[in-house]
Structure 1
Amino acid sequence: MNKYIVSAICGCLFSVTGFSQTINVEELLNQIEQNNIELKGYQAFIESQQLENKSTNNLPDPQLSGYYLPFGDNTTGDYTEYEVSQSFEFPTVYGARGKWNASKSEQLASAYATKRQEILLQAKGIVLELVFLQKQKAIETERRTQSKQVFDQIQNLFDKEQVGILDLNKAKIAWIQEQFVVQQIESDIQIQLSILKTLNGGNPIEDISSQIVLRAEIETLENLWLEKLTNDPRLQELRANEETSLQKIKLEKNKVLPNLALGYNYQGVSGSNYSGLYGGVSIPLWNSKNKVKAAEANYEYQQSNTQVITTSLYSQFQQTYNRYALMLEKYKEYQTTMDNLDSEQLLFKAYQLGEYSFMDYYVELQFYRTATHRMLQMEKELQLLQAQLLKHQL
């Protein structure tokens, strides 16, 4: 059976990705993106921040002021005055602030994309774990059947007094252990499905087939990194931070210009009145002091931060890629070696024909089972590493 297991594992690793007849990986991740409560909440937060940012570019409220002065020693009559005015910043400030708000919206969009990517990568990791558990369950179910057959055979031999109680007890323990292994795997599958259901906003997930796969061969390190530089939301967020800080410099430079005010003024006394336009201008002496310098210093920091984080991300990416390439090479070597080994099925037949005692059969069996389990583990690790490398494609 070992050779068949190896062939099945390798076939899955190199075939086409799929879940079942009704759902595939992309569809499931799309469902989670639509239903995930954390992402929905983050979308609402982004909307509120964007509206708040837009509100900072509104004109201040118009002002209405008036004077009625009937008291005092005067001979000309009561004095009346009122004024309606609208103050505003220098017109170019609004354009600069609009660009600054647009860059902050890009920041928020990149932050959301980063959060989305984290959640979808977590979901994909759970899916890969479920696939591993499903394959392991299929293997262990077959082993449980074989263990029961061995136990029944030894029970018959024991009844005929051809084997001792020790062999019978060992065979029974081996069967019980296999039953427990299958039950434990089934429990682990339910736990993972429950986590996936939570990520899907509480909506149930269909049972996941073990036929999900990832392509084994991927692009070169250089090509993948260039693709990541363009599409990875973490790197996009860094660039958005730079652009926002640059727009902040332009905004602060524009805010050095004076504020303006326009309005209408009326003055009246003893039947005479005067009315006309009102104009005002601020003297920008104190409010903008050091703000341009602060914005320029922040821009320099953002540029440096982008360079440091990008270098660190490339180093991590390179390490992951090298681990993946090495493991893929070892996996293929392991596959070739396993193909040349005798299988569990052949060993079981040899035992049935009396070529092995129970103890010899059990010792040999553990070797093949350990090798098969290692094969499954290597496949899962390969898929998890690949998911990390292709995270920017989510």
Structure 2
Amino acid sequence: MNKHIVFAICGCLFFINGFSQTATIEELLNEIEQNNSELKGYQSFIESQQLENRSTNNLPDPQLSGFYLPFGDNATGDYTEYQISQSFEFPTVYATRGKWNKSKSKQLEYAYEKRRQEVLLNAKELLIDLAFLQKQKAVETKRRTQSKQIFDQIQELFNKEQVGILDLNKAKIAWIQEQFVVQKIESDIQIQLSKLKTLNGGNPIDGISSQIVLLVEIGTIENLWQEKLSNEPLLQELNANEAASLQKVKLEKNKVLPNVALGYNYQGVSGNNYSGFYGGISIPLWNSKNKVKAAEANYEYQQSNTEVITTSLYTQFQEIYNQYLLMLEKYNEYQTTMGNLNSEQLLFKAYQLGEYSFMDYYIELQFYRNASDKMLQMEKELQLLQAQLLKHQL
């Protein structure tokens, strides 16, 4: 089926247990973003780096020097001299470095956004997994109840000597297996809750209860990719790296200009003194050698790196999108085929009416249960693939 047609007709809803009706996924993710210890620490790190970057654009400290020379042949009196001066780079350097610092601040902001997105994607995947575990638990709890009913019936028939010990043992094993499945799911739920608690800064996630309906409707790959180009922090960070490296080239070119020093000088001997202004410039012969070339080479690397990573990211995005399309098509086929069968209930009634032996009932039941579990698993995988495709929206 053509992908455009698929998405045009697919406004399908997946019913996901696990989230409160009053707490949406967005609200839970916002709570995690506010409480996450790693993100809080990263914000402090960014603030410290920005302050450190701004400090590189400060003027050097003023210099005060003096001479008092009372020794030697002092026929003309003791010699005294002092000087106060302020040195600074060429004025255009400070403006250019200020712009470079702003571009480095952008780099830090996008690096934070990239890490924030990774944390929230991890949290969203955990929430999706938790939702399906709770849905699976509801299904398996019902199956456990049915297994207990069947075991009780066969126990009664065994007591009446109408069935043998083999049938009784098989029914008991089936019931025990269902008990274990439910216990395993409950354990997995606690593990997911513990992981979410860690992401939430040690605070338990509240408001997770019955069910929520999530819309699964995404656009074409072309529209999604254009949206990703505008909002993906990784791509924005790459562009910021390019801008910062270009600004570094401009800074190094400005630093070729001479440094300047201005000040006041006093000289005095035997009641006579001289005072006036002091000035000087540096001769930029050695310090700036090859620095402009190095900055230009780094800028070329950043441009190439942006192109390579963007191409790789698009290939990966396209692969996930195609997986989503294929999974969606298969899921719709499963849903259409199994939607109205009500197979497990019909089989259970047929068994109760004696139309199936226990073994025939159990074999048929496992076939339909496997198909139902497969559809549930596909539903979960669709949600996880969608989370990857819409990662840039977090």
Q: Which interval holds the TM-score relative to the shorter structure?
A: over 0.9
Q: Per the alignment, in what secondary structure is the counterpart of residue 248 of structure 1?
A: helix
Aligned to 1:4: none
- 1:65, 1:84 within 8 Å by CA — same for their partners in 2? yes
Unaligned ranges ≥5, structure 2: 1-9
Return closer, same or farther for 1:175/1:11 CA change in 2, 3 Å cut-off: farther
Aligned to 2:74: 74
Summarize the alignment of residues 126-137 of structure 1 with structure 2, pairs less than 5 Å apart.
126-137=126-137
Summarize the alignment of residues 38-53 of structure 1 with structure 2, pairs less than 5 Å apart.
38-53=38-53
Question: Which consecutive segments of 4 or more residues in structure 1 shift more than 3 A?
Answer: 10-18
- 2:22, 2:207 within 8 Å by CA — same for their partners in 1? no
Return closer, same or farther for 1:16/1:125 CA change in 2, 3 Å cut-off: closer
The alpha-carbon deviation at position 189 of structure 1 amounts to 0.2
Q: What percent of counterpart residues are identical?
A: 82
Larger CA deviation: 126-135 vs 209-218: 209-218
Summarize the alignment of residues 1-394 of structure 1 with structure 2, pairs less than 5 Å apart.
13-14=13-14, 19-206=19-206, 208-209=208-209, 211-394=211-394
- 1:79, 1:268 within 8 Å by CA — same for their partners in 2? yes
Q: Per the alignment, in what secondary structure is the counterpart of residue 204 of structure 1?
A: coil
| 1:173-222 alpha-carbon deviations (Å, 9 max, x no partner) | 11111111101100000001001100111001126346244322201100
Return closer, same or farther for 1:295/1:155 CA change in 2, 3 Å cut-off: same
- 1:90, 1:258 within 8 Å by CA — same for their partners in 2? yes
- 1:17, 1:214 within 8 Å by CA — same for their partners in 2? no
The alpha-carbon deviation at position 265 of structure 1 amounts to 0.7
Partners in 2 of 1:202 and 1:12 — Cα distance? 36
Specify the code of the residue in structure 2 equivalent to 1:229. Answer: L
The alpha-carbon deviation at position 328 of structure 1 amounts to 0.5
Partners in 1 of 2:52 and 2:90 — Cα distance? 21
The alpha-carbon deviation at position 369 of structure 1 amounts to 0.5
Q: Per the alignment, in what secondary structure is the counterpart of residue 361 of structure 2?
A: helix
RMSD (CA atoms): 1.7
The alpha-carbon deviation at position 330 of structure 1 amounts to 1.0
Partners in 2 of 1:384 and 1:14 — Cα distance? 12
Partners in 2 of 1:211 and 1:121 — Cα distance? 20
Return closer, same or farther for 1:146/1:339 CA change in 2, 3 Å cut-off: same
TM-score (norm 2): 0.95
Aligned to 1:3: none
Partners in 1 of 2:11 and 2:256 — Cα distance? 68
Partners in 1 of 2:144 and 2:215 — Cα distance? 31
TM-score (norm 1): 0.95
- 2:260, 2:281 within 8 Å by CA — same for their partners in 1? yes
Specify the code of the residue in structure 2 equivalent to 1:55. Answer: S
| 1:17-49 alpha-carbon deviations (Å, 9 max, x no partner) | 992133111111111111111111111111111
Aligned to 2:5: none
Specify the code of the residue in structure 2 equivalent to 1:317. Answer: F
- 2:14, 2:216 within 8 Å by CA — same for their partners in 1? yes
Q: Per the alignment, in what secondary structure is the counterpart of residue 57 of structure 2?
A: coil
Unaligned ranges ≥5, structure 1: 1-9
Partners in 1 of 2:323 and 2:211 — Cα distance? 24
Return closer, same or farther for 1:17/1:29 CA change in 2, 3 Å cut-off: farther
- 1:266, 1:276 within 8 Å by CA — same for their partners in 2? yes
